Chains A and B, each alone.
Chain A
Amino acid sequence: MLKFTEDHEWLDIEDGIATVGITDYAQKALGDVVFVELPEVGATYSKGDEAAVVESVKAASEVYAPISGEITAVNTALEGEPALVNSAAMDQGWFFKMKVEDEGELDELMDETAYADFVAGLE
């Protein structure tokens, strides 16, 4: 199940685990990503907490925990190859995985169509 936030993050939920990344729209807006600061595995975040930072040459942006829960994995490939966020934002460029603590939070997120409309509204 694919979900989106208004902060241009995507979540792919499977078996109670959400894989989180930033959307293609976000990576284009940021430009060349040069560094990603990832959370620690085992850390717990509430929805909206700053969980990661993504940096381009000129800007640094926070990536917020889109839901509450514990970090179960991080994409260490980004440490050596931050460009993955640009080249494969929606799959190999994922940031972290977290346990879905409260299924109800998922309902507040957008689905693919709603996000596409949301982005269209921004342009």
Chain B
Amino acid sequence: MSMNTQGRPTGVEGVETQPGQFESFSGHVGLRLAEPLIFELGSTDTTGVDVPEVEDFDMCLGGLERKSEIGCPGLSEPDTVRHYTRLSRRNYGIDMGVFPLGSCTMKHNPRLNEKMARLPGFGDIHPLQPQSTVQGALGLIDELATWLMTLTGMPAVAMSPKAGAHGELCGVMAIRAALEARGDAREIVLCPESAHGTNPATAAFCGYKVKSIPAKENGRVDIEALKAALDDTVAAVMITNPNTCGLFETEIREIADEIHKAGAFFYADGANFNAIVGKARPGDLGVDAMHINLHKTFSTPHGGGGPGSGPVVFSDALKDFAPVPYVVKDAEGFHLVENKEGKSFGRMVAFHGQMGMYVRALSYMLSHGSDGLKQASEDAVLNANYVLASLKDVMTPSFDGPCMHEALFDDRFLKDTGVTTLDFAKAMIDEGYHPMTMYFPLVVHGAMLIEPTESESKANMDQFIRSMRGLAAAAKAGEVARFEGAPYHAPWKRLDETQAARKPVLRWEAGE
């Protein structure tokens, strides 16, 4: 035989495994590619598009041509792709691993949703086209509305709010409109201490004073305190259910009855609806209004901070006050009511809301079906309880189980270790995980809120649990160094937020 010994070596013998303490000449470190700002890369006369050739003509701008430099640099198409690809690699996403961010519901974002939203029949239609040319789009909105109403057991839904907080605003405005319509000027909105910050912010936005109601030892609303606070000055009570401690409000119907007895409305923050879709309907629990975060419960992507979508379901008492626009169906097909009529409290957005998110949410719902949606809720709750059961001996759960879709721990297990909740969370980054939600809800000390979602397999969960147990043991063993400077292996070390806030630099300036 002939022996050809040429070619590259494939073994690892003799390869140095300890990294040398040298700096690269490029500024890159292996796959960690340094990437400056576009303002430091491009120039204002570079462009990555084919600029249309336009012959000269008499411009009709009333002498208001933009003569001064704008300053926006351009990059060629290859450089643009490379720039944003490099940036993307500095991010953690659901696609990369477990993302146990409690309250935020980081579930898998199916790519079918993306494909459907980009069908030209949905993506390339204008909101002000004649309605006869968008019957399929109006039909889709109507169909999604039907799914939302059926899943919540509520008789109406306002589709247009752009996000959860916007939905809250929609709900509280409808409540205020309903109260004013009956000549009932009320001043106060009650929120539990554990509420999302948006709840009091929303109530204040609608002109209400906010009063806090305390929680009981078991993490639920103190119904006696609620009763004491309820009188004819209370417009609404805003309650998240399951609540921000990941617990179902066991006395929810009694709470609803008390609210209604006082002539007030029950606003449910639907941020955690994902725990009970297909399992229980808010309409059966006495809810008057509830927003639904399509980006949480129905898998539309979080996109690094939006866009969201926050439709609001209404009870009979509130449905006439819903904002425009809304879709109605008659013999000729679907049409939009676009201008305020009747008791509607007005308009919350230009056009009709987050169509792109509607398509994604409906794509998800159709895929799961009524059976799959229920299974998803069950799996989400199962996964959270599995985490709770697997960590309760080494971390300190704030409440006895079972929990719903998220498990809440506090920092008692870190007492006297010198490790804080923040340190613990940052050490999770070195483990390859996104930290859990920390310091929220405010009702327990050093809160750590873990929401695995239904998207995680048992194998993923087991690996995550091993990692968390390891960290808890390391903290108790006094390995403070593992935590106090963490993350050590992220692309960036801890960032100086004090400097950022004291001397804000909010844009790039030439000559920096």
Contact = CB atoms under 8 A, between A and B. Distances in A.
Direct contact of A and B (CB under 8 A): yes
Interface of A: 32, 34-35, 55, 57, 82-83
Nearest to A57: B497
A119 B175 CA distance: 44
B66 interface: no
B502 interface: yes
Nearest to A34: B501
13 contacts: A32-B498, A32-B502, A34-B498, A34-B501, A34-B502, A35-B501, A35-B502, A55-B501, A57-B497, A57-B498, A57-B501, A82-B502, A83-B502
A32 B497 CA distance: 10
Interface of B: 497-498, 501-502
A120 to B, nearest CB: 22
Contacts of B501: 34-35, 55, 57
A35 B501 CA distance: 8
Given A35-B502, A55-B501, 9 more contacts: A32-B502, A34-B501, A34-B502, A35-B501, A57-B497, A57-B498, A57-B501, A82-B502, A83-B502
Q: Interface majority SS on A: helix, strand, loop or mixed? A: loop
Nearest to B502: A34
Nearest to B498: A32
Contacts of B502: 32, 34-35, 82-83
Contacts of A35: 501-502
Q: Interface majority SS on B: helix, strand, loop or mixed? A: helix
Contacts of A57: 497-498, 501
What 8 pairs between A and B have smallest CB-CB spacing?
A: A34-B501, A32-B498, A57-B497, A34-B502, A57-B501, A57-B498, A82-B502, A34-B498
B95 to A, nearest CB: 30
A55 B502 CA distance: 10
A35 B502 CA distance: 7
A36 B498 CA distance: 14
Most buried by B among A57, A82, A83: A57
Most buried by B among A34, A82, A83: A34
Nearest to A55: B501
A3 B501 CA distance: 31
A32 B501 CA distance: 10
Contacts of A55: 501
A18 B502 CA distance: 28
Contacts of A34: 498, 501-502
A101 to B, nearest CB: 28
A82 B504 CA distance: 13
Nearest to B439: A58
B483 to A, nearest CB: 19
A34 B497 CA distance: 10
A83 B501 CA distance: 11
Nearest to A31: B498
B11 to A, nearest CB: 51
A39 to B, nearest CB: 21
A69 B502 CA distance: 30
A84 to B, nearest CB: 11
B422 to A, nearest CB: 10
A72 B497 CA distance: 33
A57 B499 CA distance: 9
Contacts of B498: 32, 34, 57
Nearest to A35: B501
Nearest to B501: A34
B500 to A, nearest CB: 8
Contacts of B497: 57
B496 to A, nearest CB: 10
Contacts of A82: 502
A34 B502 CA distance: 5
B446 to A, nearest CB: 14
A55 B498 CA distance: 11
Contacts of A83: 502
B273 to A, nearest CB: 29
A57 B498 CA distance: 6
A112 to B, nearest CB: 30
B497 to A, nearest CB: 5
A37 to B, nearest CB: 13
A35 B498 CA distance: 10
A57 B502 CA distance: 9
A59 B497 CA distance: 12
Nearest to A86: B498
Contacts of A32: 498, 502
A47 B380 CA distance: 51
A96 to B, nearest CB: 20
A27 to B, nearest CB: 13
A83 B496 CA distance: 14
A89 to B, nearest CB: 16
A83 B502 CA distance: 8
A57 B497 CA distance: 7
A100 B264 CA distance: 45
A32 B500 CA distance: 12
A64 to B, nearest CB: 18
A71 B268 CA distance: 44
A52 to B, nearest CB: 17
A110 B497 CA distance: 35
A113 to B, nearest CB: 31
B39 to A, nearest CB: 26
Nearest to A32: B498
A55 B504 CA distance: 14
A55 B497 CA distance: 13
B398 to A, nearest CB: 21
A61 to B, nearest CB: 15
A35 B497 CA distance: 13
A7 B497 CA distance: 26
B389 to A, nearest CB: 32
B262 to A, nearest CB: 30
A34 B504 CA distance: 10
